[in-house]
Amino acid sequence: MTDTAPGTGGRRRGRPPRTESAGTRERILDAAREEFAERGYEKTSVRGIAKAAGVDSALVHHYFGTKEQVFEAAVEVALVPALKVRDAVLEAPLDDVGERMTRFLFGLWENPATRKPLLAIVRSAVTNEAAATVFRRLVASQLLRRIAGEIDAPDAELRAELAAAQLVGIAMMRYVIKIEPIASADIERIVERVAPVVQGHLTGP
């Protein structure tokens, strides 16, 4: 119907002619994110992903290769949009960064589109070295080192990491292990207490 073969003079002349079947690829990635987020790397099976996506498991391999490559394809791209928000955090004035980092964390975790890949990473990073590498790159290289770069102190890196540890711990207890009452607590009440602590780690005495 909307299809136009190359050379017919139709609309999408520039589009590469591969990929006939609409969103199969995306459906697989969606399913993979969901499975990895819920079960972690080891407990997730390629067959399970395929079933959730309504396709055969061989097709998953056909698109992405090994299970580990499925993980990378499903998880890492989903966090790219978050990089823009991160840049906004980093461009803010430094005496504001505690609250901004804290709100950045909750922004990521309260949004289902980013919570799933994050859950997948955390659930997998504790046992899978590839996922641990993604985690390190995400937390350490992408965020901490840049924040540390702006702090004028001899122990800038340690400070930045302790601030991150506070936030990582909250994410673990609220979103992964789900310990009450922090799992259900109002975000504003948490921000109120945590933002000054993060700020203190970074620029305090």
Partner DNA sequence: GTCTATAAGACGATAGAC
Partner DNA sequence: GTCTATCGTCTTATAGAC
Q: 61: how many CB neighbours lie within 10 A of its CB?
A: 15
User: Crossing angle of helices 67-75/24-43, nearest 10°?
Assistant: 110
123 binds a second copy (CB under 8 A): yes
CA 202 to chain centre: 23
Which stretch, 54-62, 79-87, 107-115, 163-171, contacts DNA (CB under 7 A)? 54-62
Query: Using omega within 30 degrees of 0 as the cis cutoff, is the peptide bond preceding 6 cis?
Result: no
> Which of 55/125 has CB closer to a second copy?
125
Distance (Å, rounded) from C-alpha 160 to C-alpha 97?
A: 11
CB 120 within 8 A of CB 75: yes
Q: Which does 169 bind (CB under 5 to 8 A by kind): DNA, a second copy, none?
A: a second copy
Given the complex with a second copy, which of 55 and 174 has the nearer CB atom?
A: 174
User: What does 203 interact with, of DNA, a second copy, none (CB < 5 to 8 A by kind)?
Assistant: none
- Which position has the token pair 């090994």? 66
Q: From the list a second copy, DNA, none, which binds 3 (C-beta under 5 to 8 Å, kind-based)?
A: none
- Out of 1, 5, 9, 18, name the contact with DNA by CB under 7 A: 18
Tell me the window of 15-23, 25-33, 61-69, 125-133 that interacts with a second copy (CB under 8 A): 125-133
The span from the CA of 27 to the CA of 21, in Å, is 11
Kindly give, in sequence order, each residue whose CB lies less than 8 Å from that of residue 164, ignoring residues fewer than 6 positions away.
Answer: 139, 143, 144
Q: Which is closer to DNA, CB of 71 or CB of 135?
A: 71
Q: Can you tell me the distance from the alpha carbon of 37 to that of 41, in angstroms, rounded to the nearest whole number? A: 8
Interface positions with a second copy (CB under 8 A): 39-40, 42-43, 122-123, 125-127, 132, 135-136, 139-140, 155, 157-159, 161-162, 164-170, 172-173, 176-182, 185, 189-190, 193-194, 197, 200-201
Contacting residues toward DNA, per CB under 7 A:
18-21, 24-25, 44-48, 55-59, 61-62, 65-68
